[in-house]
């Protein structure tokens, strides 16, 4: 039997190493951005105003520093749930009240989620109504924020409780290979969600109307036909009621795919630039990035469920993370929660590999967009989006390699220029 203290030591060591690394990366980012705040980088000197560059620097620094507060708070909450006995106490209280069984396990999952949400609420409010407000991005009212909170909670309960109950039932009734059945259910649920979300869930939070600009619709339709792409519809979303940030995305799966433009995006980009941004997104489909990511999710989740299936059968897994397992009832909900909070601690140092793969996909999508539309339009569109979202043009290179899922503007534009000259 593995001594529980070995897991405790490993958990503490990885947690401390992760915190130290995040602190180091954040300090590098703040120093690097501040050092380059007073001058627009030479490649952008003629296209980006100094005021916009400085706003992006200040926004980046503010967000990074706030991230340190979130880091410290998150680490304290994590320790409170695990080694300091918070989850153990919550479990014992619910067992004393409800006894052991399915209702107690579901109550444990719901209580954990509600308490976690309440603890994080002040940070979310500060980020939205102080930081985003200060830089002119927040368009939400407190009433809208509360309405979103209520709706998202109800949707989470309506969707999450049945799938949680089914997985908990499988953990207790499907034998030692329960994790394989649970994985199949989880993957089926995720694929179903890709179809259901754009039609039934997203409209609960935003209004979607068909793209009514006939000229733009004709351009976009012609581009998609040229690229061999079919979508169920072209929609404009009222993103401006929550934020000034602009974006465009594909949603759905199979026949339910939709193209969605933020109204803020259409207000800022020319038709040619909209074409280029859409072509970039089409590039992800053409290179099968979405399918690759889904297959990757399948593989990683299968490994995760298999690992959980092994860990859940060992008492040291619970004891090493500060929880005494139930002796006369199931521990399936405890195993799920401990796994969900502990895995990110041990996998943090793998994140640069995932970020690197994502940046590679972005470069490939850029190259496809340049071949299908105009490299000049894509370049100007990207610059407008970087400026509109106050994305710094001078991030720290190490911070980029560790965190950035999208390449910095300088790398993207240089790569496009090199491709055009080739």
As annotated, the binding site includes 280, 284, 362
Task: Give the dihedral sign, CA 235/240/241/247.
Answer: positive
The active-site residue, picked from 281, 332, 377, 396, is 281
Cα separation, 261 vs 257, whole angstroms: 13
| Whether 396 is catalytic | no
Give me Rg for the CA atoms of the chain.
24
The active-site residue, picked from 127, 132, 332, 366, is 366
258-262 vs 234-237, strand pairing mode: parallel
80 three-class SS: helix
Identify which of 361, 367, 374 has the alpha carbon closest to the alpha carbon of residue 223: 374
Specify the length of the chain in residues.
422
Stated as kind and residue range, the H or E segment containing 237 is strand 234-237
Cα separation, 60 vs 137, whole angstroms: 13
Q: Which residues are annotated as a binding site for Zn(2+)?
A: 280, 284, 362
4-35 and 332-347 helices cross at what angle (nearest 10)?
40
Residue 422, CA distances (Å) to 280, 286, 379, 416, 417 in order: 20, 22, 17, 10, 9
Q: Under a CB-based contact definition with an 8 Å cutoff, are residues 197 and 251 in contact? A: yes
Cα separation, 116 vs 380, whole angstroms: 42
| Whether 70 is catalytic | no
Residue 409, CA distances (Å) to 37, 250, 308, 361, 363 in order: 16, 22, 40, 15, 11
Which amino acids are annotated catalytic?
Answer: 281, 366
């Amino acid at each position: 039997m593995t001594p529980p203290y070995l897991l405790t030591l490993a958990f503490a060591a990885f947690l401390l190493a992760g915190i130290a690394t995040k602190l180091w990366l954040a300090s590098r980012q703040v120093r690097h951005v501040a050092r380059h705040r007073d001058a627009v980088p030479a490649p952008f000197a003629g296209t980006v105003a100094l005021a916009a560059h400085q706003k992006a620097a200040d926004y980046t620094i503010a967000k990074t520093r706030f991230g340190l507060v979130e880091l410290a708070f998150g680490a304290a909450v994590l320790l409170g749930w695990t080694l300091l006995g918070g989850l153990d106490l919550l479990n014992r209280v619910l067992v004393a009240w409800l006894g052991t069984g399915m209702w107690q396990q579901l109550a444990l999952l719901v209580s954990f989620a509600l308490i976690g949400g309440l603890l994080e609420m002040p940070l979310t409010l500060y980020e939205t109504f102080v930081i985003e407000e200060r830089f002119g991005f927040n368009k939400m009212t407190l009433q809208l924020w509360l309405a979103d909170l209520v709706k998202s909670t109800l949707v989470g309960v309506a969707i999450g409780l049945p799938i949680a109950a089914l997985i908990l039932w499988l953990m207790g009734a499907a034998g030692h290979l329960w994790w394989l059945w649970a994985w199949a259910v989880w993957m089926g649920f995720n694929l179903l969600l890709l179809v259901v979300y754009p039609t039934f869930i997203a409209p609960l939070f935003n209004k979607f109307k068909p793209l009514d600009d006939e000229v733009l619709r004709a351009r976009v339709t012609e581009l998609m036909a040229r690229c061999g792409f079919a979508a169920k519809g072209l929609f404009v979303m009222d993103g401006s009621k929550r934020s000034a940030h602009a974006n465009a995305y594909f949603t759905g799966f199979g026949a339910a795919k939709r193209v969605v433009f933020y109204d803020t995006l259409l207000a800022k980009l020319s038709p040619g630039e909209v074409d280029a941004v859409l072509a970039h997104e089409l590039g992800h489909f053409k290179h099968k990035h979405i399918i690759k990511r889904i297959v990757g999710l399948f593989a990683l989740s299968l490994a995760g469920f298999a690992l959980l299936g092994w860990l859940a059968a060992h008492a040291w897994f619970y004891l090493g993370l500060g929880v005494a397992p139930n002796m006369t009832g199931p521990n399936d909900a405890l195993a799920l929660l401990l796994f969900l909070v502990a895995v990110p601690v041990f996998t943090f140092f793998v994140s640069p590999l995932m970020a690197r793969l994502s940046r590679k996909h972005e470069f490939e999508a850029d190259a496809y967009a340049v071949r299908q539309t105009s490299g000049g339009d894509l370049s100007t569109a990207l610059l407008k989006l970087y400026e509109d979202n106050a994305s710094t043009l001078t991030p720290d290179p190490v911070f980029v390699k560790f965190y950035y899922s999208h390449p910095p503007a300088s790398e993207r534009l240089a790569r496009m220029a090199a491709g055009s000259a080739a």
